[in-house]
Every structure is written in structure tokens, then in C-alpha cells.
Amino acid sequence: MKSLRKYNIILIIAIIAVLFVGCGDDDEQQVSGISTGASTMKESVLSEVEQNIKDYENRYGTGEFTREDYYALSELYKEQGLIRRQRDILEQSYRLYDDTQAFETLQNI
């Protein structure tokens, strides 16, 4: 009788554990579906300037970035009021290309 009670308790604990583990999978799928839907909606709401910034930043990440790209991205940052990012990108241009125009622009910010 005592061993039967012990097995019943173990069985109840196992059933509860399986229920909790089984519930977690559906929640994760629903959450990931919601986040991808939100990110898709967010991307479609981006303004043209924000989309251009994103494109330049992606190109920057690939290493295919020219001196003109640095200037274009710094102007986009300026339009959006992202002064710190503008300064950072101009500093990089100055260091990479010994760019005096970038240095002068930095002086005027």
C-alpha cells in the first residue's frame, strides 16, 4: 500500500512536469511569430532617410565602404540629429583616408 502511494506521487509529479514542458513549446513559437511580425511592421514604417542609413550601415559592415560613403552616411546622421554617430563616422574617415575635409567638418560640429 505504501509503495502504491509512492508510485502515485511519482506519476503525478511526472504528469505535471510533462504538462509544463509541453506548454513551453507553443508559447515560444507564438512569441517568435509575434516578434517577426513586429520587426516586419517596423521595417515598413522606416522613413527613406532611416532606410538609407540602414543600407549604408549594412554596406559598412561588409567592408565595401568608400570615402564618399562616409560623407553620405555622416550627412544622413546629421539629418536625423545623430550627432555622436556623425562625429564617429567622420573620425573614421579622417583616420583611414587622412581626410582633411572630414577633419574640418568635425571642427565645425
Query: Do 53 and 8 share a structural domain?
Result: no
Same domain, 74 and 52: yes
Same domain, 32 and 61: no
If asked whether residues 52 and 103 sit together in one domain, one would say yes
Query: Distances from the Cα of 108 to the Cαs of 8, 63, 80, 86, 90, in angstroms?
Result: 78, 28, 17, 12, 12
64 in the same domain as 28: no
Burial class (CB in 10 A: 0-12, 13-18, 19+), 106: middle
- Structural domain for 89, as ranges: 46-108
Single out the residue of 84, 73, 85, 83 nearest to residue 49, CA to CA: 73
Cα(74)–Cα(87) distance, rounded to whole angstroms?
A: 8
Question: Chunked in runs of 10, what are the mean pLDDT values of the chain (109 residues)?
Answer: 72 73 53 52 71 89 86 90 92 89 86
Residues 68 and 88 in one domain: yes
**Contact partners, residue 38, CB within 8 Å, separation at least 6:** none
Answer yes or no: do 61 and 85 share one domain.
yes
- For the full predicted model, state whether its pTM sits above 0.75: no
